[in-house]
Amino acid sequence: MAKSETEEMQDYMESDVVHDHEDKIQLPFGYGEIKGGMHIEMSKLLESYKDYLIKNDEFIEDNCDCNELIITANGVEWKNIQAKCVIFCEGVSTQQNPYFNWLPFVPAKGEILLVKIPKLKMNQMINKGIFVLPVGEEIYKVGSTFDWDDLSNDPTEKAKTHLIEKLDDLLKINYEIIDHKAGVRPTVKDRRPFIGIHPNHQEVGVFNGMGTKGALLAPFYAKQFVEHLENNTELDPEVNILRYF
């Protein structure tokens, strides 16, 4: 409430405490509401954009082995495709990329549950230790966890138990677990993206480490990176990979 009264936060935070859904959620003091928050269904967005690129003959689906990449006087060549530059956007796999394996990734495994909660009937996302995100048809995404030791993509009972305990503390109503998923985040040491051209190979670049705000950061920094590549404008020093070279 104190933050919502400040001028810089009034566009983003409601000033009143909300007491809706108290018969379904354990919120004895109510909750604060964020203005204008929304969720982008990234899988649908990416699939739609992929279809667009395919229709415009601008998409090739293949495995890229760095050993097959040939740096030439005019740029790069790969499987008879010639380009001025190649940009790697490989997520956590960049750790195995010989051009960028020196970047200090700190990978973090995360796990989520998909649960069905017929009686909740909320369009808002709840955030209290965990997030509960509506994805349609009475299904909610619940997460997430952090693990810096087990970096497999396999779901674990430990994480599942943790999420169930958190959800039980939050909900007053019954739910059904539909699915349990895991993945490894390309987390960065200083929580800033990795963007830039290799200091010794001007034909090779990287665009990675967007983090949990990737839906916001990626378009912003993609535009900045294009300006850097095409017009030699400066990259934000906080994201430029040269900070680690």
List of domains in the chain: 64-104+190-244 (no CATH), 108-185 (3.30.9.10)
Identify whether the C-beta of residue 170 lies closer than 8 Å to the C-beta of residue 184: no
131 dihedral zone (left: phi>0; alpha: psi -120 to 50; beta): beta
Q: What single DSSP character describes residue 41?
A: -
Pairing type for strands 86-88 and 201-208 reads parallel
Report the pLDDT value the prediction gives residue 27, as an integer from 0 to 100. 86
State the Cα angle at 83 between 78 and 84, rounded to 5°: 130
Order of strands, sheet of 86-88, starting from the edge strand that comes earlier in the sequence: 86-88, 201-208, 194-198
**Which two structure tokens, joined as six digits, stand for 107?**
């990978």
Per-residue pLDDT of the chain (245 residues; tens, 9 = 90+): 888 889 999 899 998 898 888 899 998 888 899 998 888 888 899 999 999 999 999 999 999 888 899 999 889 999 989 999 999 999 999 999 999 999 999 999 999 999 999 999 988 899 999 999 999 999 999 999 999 999 999 999 999 999 999 999 999 999 999 999 999 999 998 999 999 999 999 999 999 999 888 888 999 999 999 999 999 999 999 999 999 98
For residues 20 and 148, give the distance between their C-alpha atoms in angstroms, rounded to a whole number. 37
Report the pLDDT value the prediction gives residue 22, as an integer from 0 to 100. 87
Report the pLDDT value the prediction gives residue 192, as an integer from 0 to 100. 95
Report the pLDDT value the prediction gives residue 161, as an integer from 0 to 100. 97
Sign of the C-alpha dihedral computed for residues 174, 171, 41 and 191 taken in this order: negative
Q: What single DSSP character describes residue 124?
A: S
**Which two structure tokens, joined as six digits, stand for 225?**
């990176």
